[in-house]
A and B are shown apart, each in its own frame.
Chain A
Amino acid sequence: GESVGLHLPTLSVQEGDNSIINCAYSNSASDYFIWYKQESGKGPQFIIDIRSNMDKRQGQRVTVLLNKTVKHLSLQIAATQPGDSAVYFCAENRGSRGQNFVFGPGTRLSVLP
């Protein structure tokens, strides 16, 4: 597959450790946020979402935290596995009527054996 964003910030973690990927967003009016995972040569894949009236949401092995005060979003992956290696994007919806998602630059997660 082809790589996207060859010069993305990279987070390297040991297999089995927890990963934390951070994202800063810019629009205080954004009301909905999504984390996507993109593996090499594939399209983005939905991981988890959160509305602006929440500060935490948990899924299977993943947790998203939202801090509206500092406009910060994080994705925590528990017990990171080799299959988690990918580029992770946050997206904020800035649309006041309907969709207008703005995506972060992405972070490459590399899981070490």
Chain B
Amino acid sequence: DSGVTQTPKHLITATGQRVTLRCSPRSGDLSVYWYQQSLDQGLQFLIQYYNGEERAKGNILERFSAQQFPDLHSELNLSSLELGDSALYFCASSVASAVQNEQFFGPGTRLTVL
């Protein structure tokens, strides 16, 4: 158990809908990262937050947004969902924002868009 929790574990929704994925980092970690893992594109970095502020951006679509709250939990919002958004979404956390800080991954949320 990495100490990172993600809810829900599974989510099934329809095209065009909007969903919110939630992540609680390890106790004491200030950085949160979101990743998408799909069969065709593999694991992709989406976005990083550090202590409530956006720190780095990867391949995140404009239909997707995230935020980190004062209690350091984070939410990833996915809107206007398409079939291709079906994937595993992982959250990770690290103690600080440096690239070399080890990231601890949660168990993931499996999103299925029908």
Residues of A at under 8 Å CB distance from B? 2, 4-6, 32, 41-46, 49, 51, 89, 91, 93, 95, 98-106
Chain A residues with CB under 8 Å of B45's CB are 99-103
Task: For A7, give the chain B residue with the smallest CB separation.
Answer: B39
Among B56, B102, B104, the residue within 8 A (CB) of A99 is B56
6 contacts between A and B (CB under 8 A): A4-B88, A5-B42, A51-B100, A99-B99, A103-B42, A104-B42
User: Is A5 touching B39 in the complex (CB atoms < 8 A)?
Assistant: yes
User: Is B110 touching A2 in the complex (CB atoms < 8 A)?
Assistant: yes
User: Is A106 touching B42 in the complex (CB atoms < 8 A)?
Assistant: yes
Given pairs A43-B106, A101-B58, 11 additional interface contacts (CB within 8 A): A32-B99, A32-B100, A41-B107, A44-B90, A46-B102, A91-B43, A95-B56, A98-B55, A99-B45, A103-B43, A103-B44
Once bound together, how far apart are the Cα atoms of A33 and B99, in whole Å? 10
Task: Please report the total number of B residues contacting A with Cβ < 8 Å.
Answer: 27
Chain B residues with CB under 8 Å of A105's CB are 42
Within 8 A of A (CB), among B39-70: 39, 42-45, 48, 55-56, 58
Within 8 A of A (CB), among B16-47: 33, 37, 39, 42-45
Among A43, A93, A102, A104, the residue within 8 A (CB) of B105 is A43
Chain B residues with CB under 8 Å of A104's CB are 42
Task: For B44, give the chain A residue with the smallest CB separation.
Answer: A103
Task: For A42, give the chain B residue with the smallest CB separation.
Answer: B107
User: Is A98 touching B90 in the complex (CB atoms < 8 A)?
Assistant: no
User: Is B102 touching A93 in the complex (CB atoms < 8 A)?
Assistant: no
B72 part of interface (Cβ distance < 8 Å): no
As a 0/1 sequence over residues 64 to 95 of chain B, the CB contacts with chain A under 8 angstroms (1 = contact) are 00000000000000000000000010101000
Chain B residues with CB under 8 Å of A89's CB are 42-43
Chain A residues with CB under 8 Å of B13's CB are none
User: Is A93 touching B37 in the complex (CB atoms < 8 A)?
Assistant: no
Once bound together, how far apart are the Cα atoms of A97 and B88, in whole Å? 27
